[in-house]
Structure formats: structure tokens, C-alpha cells
Amino acid sequence: MVSLELKRVVVTGLGAITPLGNNVSQYWQNLLQGCSGVGPITLFDASQHNCQIAAEVKGFDPSDYLERKEAKRMDRFAQFAVCASLQAIADAGLEINEFNAERIGAIIGTGIGGLKVLEDQQEVYLTRGSDRVSPFFIPMMIGNMAAGLTAIHTGARGPNSCTVTACAAGANAVGEAFRLIRHGYAEAMICGGTEATITPLCVAGFAAARALSTRNHEPTRASRPFASDRDGFVMGEGAGILVLEELEHAQRRQAHVYAEIVGYGMTCDAYHMTTPIPGGKGATRAMELALKDAGLFPNQVSYINAHGTSTLANDVAETLAVKQALGIHAEKVAISATKSMTGHLLGGSGGIEAIATAMAVATDRIPPTINLEDPDPACDLDYVPQLCRRQQVDVALSNSFGFGGHNVTLAFKKLKG
């Protein structure tokens, strides 16, 4: 039944498969320590590519969570999502059963979906013929399968969907899940983003667009958000999944609460396929809308987890957007770009960055922006360079912006009252 009264929504579970660790504890500790997950590409022979570095997930074995036969019928992006979802549900202590399954759903975003299986099966088709293409090719490739398989493996029969808004997809998934609970369509949602695009064709495509760093000789220093000598983003992979719950539902279970999610802003630049609108107007409105949705003022923001891709245009546009959205308070806000450590997970980035933002609220610790020795003069805010910071974090924003002009901001705060 839809509620006329807006419900409060909290984060009760977290799960992560990332270049910095295959659970939230490893991921968070490595963020705080300023570790880089970037290294030479090992998932394929990149010797003929201009870009030969990426932030790969390391030591991941889906059979730790899934039967081997089941895992083989999933593309890597779906494996990441299902395993991170199982982590998040366990962390939340949420039991999904016949009594509540229809009130628990899943929304998991991805920018590209099953690209690895697409590349592999194209090769099979060209070299061995059409009758040798796998019958699992299509269900392994399509982007909605991360959310669908998560429901299959958890029994969640409530709202189920997939956001496909490029690098904003994971954040959109969290925002839409928040709205479903807030308006009474669900009591709990499994949400976030996933991606596995460190493949020959994808790396070649982004390199052709001159979007990727080619700092192959020093991979751990290649992702350099807001730095004067940044030369593009570093491809990452993985998944970040959150369990969101209606507050009273969580309290009845005596669930641990990381943070309250209080606002969601979504806009479009309507300007260019890949370049943000000059001045960051779309990103500005996303932040403004998230604060308005939350009933918060700009001077209440303690921390922003920046989109911070390490590309020339995006970092400048985001800096301008923060200044416009927060006014004079922008100079007082701590901002960090965790992509400096994780690389850019595309559709998965909004999920792992929402986790980092919720953890900053929960622990009053802010991850650093590494590799920021010489900031771009046009990027002149407090980016928490090099070292993590202990600081009270009452309100935090997480920004995600994607090709096509998609802009998303999520607002989190400490649970009070």
C-alpha cells in the first residue's frame, strides 16, 4: 500500500567488491590509508593498447558465494552484484522470507552490462559459426540481469529494476530505491551499481575517445583528480551495494544504522554526449535539488564525495558546480575524490561511493584524494589531499555524473531523533 506520509529511510547494510578489497571492511580501510588499486592490466593482453592500466578486482572467487555452475552462467558484472548483495543483506541481518519478500526489492545500475560475454560470443560467432553461440549469451549480457539474479538468489519479490545512466547508474539506483521506500512502495531495497568493463574493446573505445590516462609507467599515480597534470580517468571494476530500509522497519529489527538517506537530486545537462555543460549548471541543480529534497541548507554540508574523474573538463565543471550550489560555504567543505584510489567503475562508481559517503557519516572520517600534489588552479577547493581526515560529518553529499549529461546527487546525514 502506498503511504501518503513520507517515510524516513536508513542505510542498514553494505556490500562491496572493489579494486581495494572484496568486502566493505577492506575497501574502507584501504580508502582511509590512501591505497591505490590501479596496476597493469592482467585480464587481457593490453600490450598493443595505448592504455595498459586499470583498477582490477583482485582475488575474487564467485564460488565463495555461489555454486560454480551458477557463477559460470553469469557475466562478471552480475557476479560482482550478486556477491556484494549477499554481503549487504548479511551485514544488515535482513531475513527475506515468505512474509516480507514482496515488500523487499532490488534496483542495481550498470553503465554497460555484460560486455565481456558479448566480446567472447562475437568471437565464437565469427570463428566457429552461429550454432556455437551460447544459449546463455543474451541473459548473461543484458544489463538488468544483475538486479534479476540478485532477486533470484535472495528471494526479494518486490520492485525490481535496472538503471542504465552511464556513470550515474549506481547513484540513480540508490536514489530510486530511496524514493520507493519513502513513498511506501517497499520496506527495504537492495540497491547500488556494478560494472566489469576491463575488456579489450571497452578500453580501446574509451582510449579512442581520449578519456583514459596513459600514465602506464606509474599506474598508482595515474588517477589524479583535480591535479594540474591529470590526463584522463583510469578504468575500474566492481560493485557497491546498499540495503536501504524504512526507519521504523529497521528499528523494529534493532538493525544497525550507518546513516539516514535524506535527499536525491537528478538533472540532465541536455548539452553534449560526453562533455559536461560549461559552468556545471546541471551538476549544480542536482546538488541543489538533493538539499531541497532533504530540507537542508548549504551551510549544513560537512563533506562531498566528488565524482572527481581525473578528466580535464569534469573536474573543473564539478568545482564550479560545488561553488554555485553551496555559495561561500563551498570553501569550508571537505571534498574527496575516491576515484583517485579505485579508478572509475562507470556504472558501479555510484554504489561504492555511496558506501564511502555513508561510512564517512558513520565514522567521522573522510578518505583522501591521493596524487594531488599540484592542484589545477581552476580546482581550488579543499580536496583533502593525500591523507584521511578525522572530522565531524553530519551531512554528506555523493555526486555522480554520466555521459549523456546525467547528474545525480545523494544526501546522507547522521540519524537523529
SS (H, E, C) 80-146: HHHHHHHHHHHHHCCCCCCCCHHHEEEEEECCCCCHHHHHHHHHHHHHHCHHHCCCCHHHHHCCCHH
Nearest alpha-carbon partner for 348 in 55, 128, 59? 55
When pLDDT is cut at 50, 70 and 90, the band that residue 180 belongs to is very high
Q: Kindly state the average pLDDT of the residues 278-304.
A: 97
167 is known as an active-site residue: yes
pLDDT reading at 417 higher than 80 = no
Cell 558484472 sits on residue = 77
- Domain parsing of the chain, residue ranges: 10-252, 263-413
The per-residue pLDDT for 416 is: 86
The per-residue pLDDT for 229 is: 96
DSSP 24: H
Per the residue annotation, which of 35, 83, 167, 379 is the catalytic one? 167
pTM: 0.97
When pLDDT is cut at 50, 70 and 90, the band that residue 4 belongs to is confident
The domain at 10-252 falls in which architecture?
3-Layer(aba) Sandwich (3.40)
When pLDDT is cut at 50, 70 and 90, the band that residue 1 belongs to is low
**What are the pLDDT digits (tens) for 14-60?**
999 999 999 999 999 999 999 999 999 999 999 999 999 999 999 99
Nearest alpha-carbon partner for 13 in 224, 195, 189? 189
Cell 551460447 sits on residue = 134
The per-residue pLDDT for 359 is: 98
Per the residue annotation, which of 153, 249, 344, 406 is the catalytic one? 344
The per-residue pLDDT for 135 is: 96
**What are the pLDDT digits (tens) for 357-406?**
999 999 999 999 999 999 999 999 999 999 999 999 999 999 999 999 99
The per-residue pLDDT for 254 is: 97
Cell 535539488 sits on residue = 289
183 is known as an active-site residue: no
When pLDDT is cut at 50, 70 and 90, the band that residue 2 belongs to is low
307 is known as an active-site residue: yes
Per the residue annotation, which of 83, 307, 379, 406 is the catalytic one? 307
The per-residue pLDDT for 217 is: 97
The per-residue pLDDT for 181 is: 98
Nearest alpha-carbon partner for 192 in 335, 357, 341, 334? 357
Task: Give, for 385, the enclosing helix (H) or strand (E).
Answer: none
**What are the pLDDT digits (tens) for 130-178?**
999 999 999 999 999 999 999 999 999 999 999 999 999 999 999 999 9
Sorted by sequence, the CB contacts under 8 Å of residue 7 that are 6+ apart come out as 181, 182, 183, 184, 246, 247, 248
The per-residue pLDDT for 155 is: 97
pLDDT reading at 221 higher than 70 = yes
Q: CATH code for 263-413?
A: 3.40.47.10
When pLDDT is cut at 50, 70 and 90, the band that residue 3 belongs to is low
